[in-house]
Amino acid sequence: MAHFLWLLFLLISSATACDRCVHQSKADFFSSDAPLASGACGYASLALNLTGGRLAAAVASLYKGGAGCGACFQIRCKDPKLCSSSGTNVTVTDLNLNNQTDFVVSGTAFKAMANQGMDQDVLKLGIADVEYKRIPCVYQNQNLAVRVEDSSNNPNYLAIKLLYQGGQTDVTAMDVAQVGSPNWNPMSRNYGAVWDTSKVPTGALQFRFMVTSGLDGKWIWAQNVLPADWKSGQIYDSGVQITDIAQESCSPCDDGNW
């Protein structure tokens, strides 16, 4: 991890470190929101509650093997006659394997880029020229939550999914320990937003999440998350929320005008 962060630092310090960069690309859409809900991140029906159903499949470079799951982006189409300057905000729930566009978004999200009354004209574009930037995910009065996956089996196997991940950062590692114990066990990313371990500590469980913050890594500590009798299918409040921003490099930085 240290080597990786040092390399990241070298790469970023050769350009300008920014809170946000604006990227130029294209976006396509699914006529139904369902494929994105059942997407590679594994949110299933819970996805439809993220950013009001404005969901996106992101290319591999943004999906990052699942670390990009739950990331938020602001996307606007570049035709000012059809599209508003504020565009739409989406949450990543799936991997886009089509390398012609950086995003395939839900129909709900695609229409949300339109100026008033222009929904149908925007849909007719099919593939739109867009610009986009990563933005912080904001969940009002909602902490980071942990869903115990159906495949879990107390006390032998624990798989959890992160929900409502705030901030503008990626979770790059996760550890679990019994509440009050210093013996942290690493968990690994199973797929998408799901992390698992078959070395499950007994008792009530705490977690710590490594996120990228600024140019560096930082642990977020959730001191008491799962009760000893944690159950599959349940969602537990982590008691914490993430507000950090990971820097990316571009020149000039986005000035925040849209």
Binding site for ligand NAG (CB under 6 A): 46, 49, 74, 89, 99, 135-136
Question: Smallest distance from the beta carbon of 21 to ligand NAG, in angstroms?
Answer: 14
Residue 164: other Cβ atoms inside 10 A: 21
| CB nearer to ligand NAG: pick between 51 and 152 | 51
Question: Smallest distance from the beta carbon of 173 to ligand NAG, in angstroms?
Answer: 26
Scored b (16 or more CB within 10 A) or e, 55-78 reads bbbbbeebbeebbbbbbbbbbbbe
| CB nearer to ligand NAG: pick between 74 and 247 | 74
| CB nearer to ligand NAG: pick between 116 and 183 | 116
When computed from its CA atoms, the radius of gyration of the chain, rounded to whole angstroms, is: 19
Question: Smallest distance from the beta carbon of 99 to ligand NAG, in angstroms?
Answer: 4
| CB nearer to ligand NAG: pick between 64 and 208 | 64
Question: Smallest distance from the beta carbon of 116 to ligand NAG, in angstroms?
Answer: 14
| CB nearer to ligand NAG: pick between 73 and 230 | 73
Distance (Å) of CA 205 to CA 118, 165, 186: 50, 19, 13
Question: Smallest distance from the beta carbon of 113 to ligand NAG, in angstroms?
Answer: 11
